[in-house]
Amino acid sequence: MTTSDQILEGQMLDETVWLECSDFCATLQIERRWVVELVDSGLLEPRGENPDAWRFPASALARVRSTARLVNDLGVNLAGVAVILDLLEERRQLLARLRQLERAFEE
């Protein structure tokens, strides 16, 4: 099978799906020590008291992928990543609010 013939399958993940730390790392193909750094820097907030018991929402997968791109591609440090991701989330919320107001104004 060629690359263009491959069929991609996936599962929609939401806030109800939680991954154990080992599964989280395996899915992202990252080392556990980097996850610990992300938790220590406040970029991830796991459930559980220690890395052996940590669980992460599936929605955190996208946050870690974005973090990796910012760190690896742009050389941003983790403190900078936190600021960037917070600003992106705030922008997303503001755009959603703007769309709501525009719909209400049109009615």
Question: Could you state, in order of their start, the residue ranges of all structural domains in the chain?
Answer: 15-106
Tens digit of pLDDT for each residue in 4-59? 555 444 455 556 899 999 999 999 999 999 999 999 999 999 999 999 999 999 99
Quick: pLDDT tens for 58-92.
999 999 999 999 999 999 999 999 999 999 999 99
Beta bridge partners of 47: 55
**Class of the CATH-defined domain 15-106:** mainly alpha
Tell me, what amino acid is at 107? Answer: E
pLDDT score of 107: 82
> What single string gives the DSSP state of each residue in the chain?
--GGG---------TT-EEEHHHHHHHHT--HHHHHHHHHTTS---BSSSTTT-EEETTHHHHHHHHHHHHHHH---HHHHHHHHHHHHHHHHHHHHHHHHHHHHH-
Higher pLDDT: 96 or 13? It is 96
